[in-house]
Amino acid sequence: MAPYKELKLIDFHSSPPHLQFNKYVLSGYRPVSTSRGCLQSLFYLHNESGNIYTHGIPFVGFLLLLPLSIPWSEVDEWWLCLVHYLACLSPTVGSVFYHIFMNHEGGVHIYDALLSFDMLGVCLVNTLGALPIVHITLLCYPSFRRAAMMAYLLVSCHGIHCAVTARSNVRRLRSFAWQALFRFFLFILRWTGGGTGSPDSLRLYLTMDSLALLGGLVNISRVPERFSPGSFDYWLNSHQIMHMMVVLSIMYLHWGMMEDLAWLRQYQCPVE
């Protein structure tokens, strides 16, 4: 096996056109590489290192630790636990693959496929993460519950199509608007007493969506690097900040669902 060798990093203008999407990050770009070269970049510093590890480390943590806190055997609707677990994992998986292999020698076609995979992960946390919330919010209204879950799946399919075909960060963020509005309607139902669920979970879910929205806005605004181009090439640029907010958002989703599952074990719908 040939010895490991760090590749020489390049600047913004020397990188391929499809990687020139943040003009305020000026240096630290990896040159076009083979699959092996992309993987080797895990072991030296470049301007994607922060993006890789801000989702890679949480992915490993979620993968190993979340199952220990999920009450698998205590909930009759076992699928709620499985869907929630997959939802928490999905955005970090796609993101890690995207950021590791985005400079692959396959060029723009490989890049577009990786970006679609990354966006699919974001779509899945919005879709899978909300289905247990829909179920629990409308627990005592089976007909409405089934209709609402079907409607949310249809809205999600539209959002997935928009997200994977979008050509700008603004359009990608807008792809999730209908899903967010649907969830907000569920939260209003809970707040007004028209829906069911743990009284303590609502604020956690609202924090979850607020963090996700704020992260998306930071990402499209390119703050803070737009105020000092080149100063945030490696650490604390807008995309890394968004990653950290996404991880916090997933944690609030998990905490909210644990409150709901604990409530579900003790609640009985009133008999008419």
Binding region:
99, 239, 243
Nearby residues of 234 by Cβ (< 8 Å), 6 or more positions away? 28, 45, 46, 47, 49, 50
Return the number of other C-beta atoms located less than 10 Å from residue 183's C-beta: 22
Q: Could you tell me the sign of the dihedral formed by the alpha carbons of 23, 24, 29, 34, in that order?
A: negative
Compute the distance between CA of residue 169 and CA of residue 238 in angstroms, rounded to an integer.
12
H/E stretch holding 35? helix 35-40
CB distance 115 to 81 below 8 Å: no
Token readout for 12 is 């913004």
Residue 240 is given by DSSP the state H
Compute the distance between CA of residue 234 and CA of residue 217 in angstroms, rounded to an integer.
20
| C-alpha distances in Å from residue 27, one per residue of 45, 52, 77, 98, 105 | 12, 17, 50, 19, 19
Cα-Cα end-to-end distance for the chain? 72
Which residues define the annotated binding site for Zn(2+)? 99, 239, 243
Compute the distance between CA of residue 228 and CA of residue 92 in angstroms, rounded to an integer.
28
